[in-house]
Amino acid sequence: MIEITQTAQAYFHKLLQSQDGDAIGIRLHAVKAGTPAADARLSFCDADDLIGDEWQLECEGFVLYVEAASAPFFEDAQIDFESNATGGQLNIRAPRIKGVPPAEGAGLIERLRHVIDSEINPQLAAHKGRVALEAVTADGVVVLRFGGGCHGCGMVDVTLRQGIEKTLAARFPEITGVRDATDHDSGQQPYYKAS
């Protein structure tokens, strides 16, 4: 399930020793699992923090407790610690934490939603924006609706043509175009005000 390198195990063991025996292990859980905003969280835990359904991974000198609901999202995950001049960095690579890509043979809409949610929206989030798939027309035009900082933004056409449309066209040769269905005049907090 989860691979914890020797360097990561040694790092966790050292951290636990610094807790004066109060913590019994390390707890791992996913926040917002299955979404583009998913993240892995680690914390010290004592017996009161555990509810009893956690997966337990016996490591050298400690136990890693994985929240049961989070366990599927950590399938094939790797935890590593890399030493460097400033001390080091803990890395958690969990390829399933943001969700599993659609299966081979999945429909166009499912595949489009996955790319929008996992690749495009995380980039738009930097400007407090987002986009949602409204429809795919019979002639292959993808219809999108913008929200957040993209709703009413003066740069939305550039975002649509130079970013989103190019990304989708490269991934989905069956689409014929991308259209914005947003009423941008009603945007409340655009990232860039239209001139």
pLDDT at residue 123, as a whole number: 84
pLDDT at 34 (0 to 100): 81
Residues recorded for the chain: 195
Name the pTM for this structure: 0.58
Q: Under a CB-based contact definition with an 8 Å cutoff, are residues 123 and 164 in contact?
A: no
pLDDT of residue 195: 64
- For 108-186, CATH gives 3.30.300.130
Given this model, what pLDDT does residue 47 score?
Answer: 86
Output the pLDDT for position 165: 96
Sequence ranges of the domains in the chain: 2-93, 108-186
Angle at 99 (CA atoms; ends 97, 101), nearest 5 degrees: 130
pLDDT along the chain (195 residues), means of 10: 93 89 89 85 91 91 92 93 91 89 89 87 84 95 93 91 95 95 82 73
- Report phi then psi at 155, rounded to 5: -105, 10
Q: Looking at residue 108, what is its pLDDT?
A: 94
What homologous superfamily is domain 2-93 in, according to CATH? HesB-like domain (2.60.300.12)
Minimal CA–CA distance to 144: which of 195, 94, 109?
Answer: 109
Greatest distance between any 2 Cα atoms in the chain = 66
pLDDT of residue 81: 96
pLDDT at res. 49 = 87
